[in-house]
Amino acid sequence: MIIDIAQACDLVIFGAKGDLARRKLLPALYQLEKCNQIHPNTRIIGAGRANWTKEEYIETIKKTTKTFLREDIDEHIWDKLIFRVHFFNIDVFKEHYFTKLKKILNQTNNIIIYYCAVPPSAFHAIFEGLGKVNLNLFPSRIIIEKPLGVSLKTCKKINDQIAKYFLESQIFRIDHYLGKESILNLISLRFANSLFFNNWNRKMIDHIQITVSEEVGIENRWNYFDEMGQTRDMVQNHLLQILTIISMDQPKNISPTNIRNEKIKILRTLDTINIDNINEKTVRGQYTSGNIRGKKVPSYIEENGANPNSQTETFVCIRVDLKNDQWLGVPFYLRTGKRLAYKYSEIVVVFKEMPINLFNKPNNLSRNKLIIRLDPNENIKIDFFKKTPGFNEICQLTSDRIELSSSTKTTSNRIDAYERLLLESMKGSQSLFVCREETEEAWKWIDPIIDSWKKTKQNNLKLYPAGTWGPKNSDKIIMKDGRYWHEFDSK
């Protein structure tokens, strides 16, 4: 049952000492505490491999929370938060620790939520450990996060392992993009406005561009990233989530099941990319050294711990075609990369030309566009044409741009993705989480792309200097179709 307030929970964070817990989860819990969103009886149990007392744990997390919070710590809120915090020393590979954990969890009737903030190699031990002492039973909930495998096969394995102990209704798979305000707003934008709704099809739309550009490099996660590459790390999950939300049919209602079903239908209509069309539809690149905001940065293969022969892609551009009535003939161009010139995410919907042109529209004027900036400075703009002002004839056109919504950057109610997702899990609502089928359908489409790259070996990796917009070939992918990337505008 879904209720609209957070229930009294015991939130057990496996991997309490790790990066995710310290960077994201604790700052998010602090913010939820500040907004009075956490139930008064909720407990937070950090579980990790250390002989720490509660006090030692709190001291450590205070340091990191201070670093990762977007503001100074308010001692009053911090005290409220740490009153709930406990630390539990656990080796997830040993059963007797779970028996001890059970004793702690039996102290209350709270709903138990397990957050697996650990590498996937420890997932199975946790599922099994909880299962052995019946800590897996409904209504407990479990949160897992990517990478959910590196292929369909490995993803299925994780899904099968968890399904042995937990029902699908207990499993909350995180894709943090689904917690972002701007992504959620896409659903409202599309289905609450007849202006957009009625024009959202192949009759009106020429093509759609989705760009997720990052300035960051690999930092200290070279080994993880090198196994993944940008396609598995970003496209399999975040970009495909954006694509499904932007292209799905109107769901019967906005219930989690109906939205997920529509998204799954889209994943099933993605045209397969294989050895026959891999070169025509994809470009993969890797960054060389360069400058980002005036600072020199090393190449991918010179990062800490790197293998100089790595052929992993840090950039990818894909032309995606959908085989359904609504989108036949409307390509979706996806591109994402690390160490690009600027961090931003944007969807650009490019409309078709007028069927009959009554005006002198210079060739350099582009088409009508709906530009949805997801990050930063979230906003929506429309490019349109109007008469050139002055004594000119009516048929002289210039292009103009209107901004439909101002940036939400400065609004005080901006909610971080992890805050929203933690809160939703405390409410028991799965709408913003990914279901098993979505993860597997996404891999089904990604696997042949990665296999085809392997088969075509070295010649398909294009180098690009850090601080640019990726390899020139990504322009070719769109230009050979007579189209252009929408130019980045930092406003």
Active site residues: 238
For 33-81, the DSSP string reads: HHTT-S-TT-EEEEEESS---HHHHHHHHHHHHHHHSSSPPPHHHHHHH
Of the pair 145, 383, the CB lying nearest ligand BG6 is at 145
- Angle between helix axes 26-34 and 75-84 (nearest 10 degrees) is 110
Distances in Å between the Cα of 97 and the Cα atoms of 114, 132, 348 are 15, 11, 51
Closest contact distance (angstroms) between CB of 245 and ligand BG6 is: 15
DSSP assignment, residue 231? I
Instruction: Report the relative pairing of strands 282-288 and 461-465 from DSSP bridges.
Output: parallel
What is the nearest approach in angstroms of ligand BG6 to the Cβ of residue 317? 17
- Residue closer to ligand BG6 (CB basis): 206 or 214: 214
- Quote the Cα angle for 318-176-464, to 5°: 35
Among 10, 33, 206, 214, binds ligand BG6 (CB under 6 A): 214
Q: Which is nearer to ligand BG6, 226 or 233 (CB)?
A: 233
Residue type for position 170? Q
x/- contact string, 219-238, with ligand BG6 (CB under 6 A)?
--------------x-----
218/449 with CB nearer ligand BG6:
218
Which helix or strand (DSSP H or E) is residue 351 part of?
strand 344-351
Residue 345 CB, shortest distance to ligand BG6, in Å, is: 6
Query: What is the nearest approach in angstroms of ligand BG6 to the Cβ of residue 412?
Result: 20
Nearest to ligand BG6 by Cβ — which residue?
233
Looking at residue 470, the DSSP 8-state letter turns out to be S
Q: With contact defined as beta carbons under 8 Å apart, do 473 and 283 qualify?
A: yes
Nearest approach in angstroms of CB 288 to ligand BG6 is 19
- CA distance linking residue 408 with residue 305, whole number of Å: 39
Q: Which is nearer to ligand BG6, 136 or 314 (CB)?
A: 314
Binders of ligand BG6: how many residues, by CB under 6 A?
3
Report in angstroms how near the CB of residue 224 gets to ligand BG6 at its nearest: 8
- Does residue 237 sit in helix, strand or coil? helix
Which one among 195, 216, 354, 479 touches ligand BG6, defined by CB under 6 A?
Answer: 216
Closest of 98, 17, 9, 103 to residue 57, by C-alpha: 17
Based on the shown chain and the rule CB under 6 A, indicate whether residue 419 belongs to the binding site for ligand BG6. Answer: no
CA angle (447 as vertex; 444, 453 as ends), nearest 5? 155
- Cβ closest to ligand BG6, residue 33 vs residue 214: 214
Q: Is the dihedral of CA 116, 117, 121, 126 positive or negative?
A: negative
Residues that bind ligand BG6 (CB under 6 A): 214, 216, 233
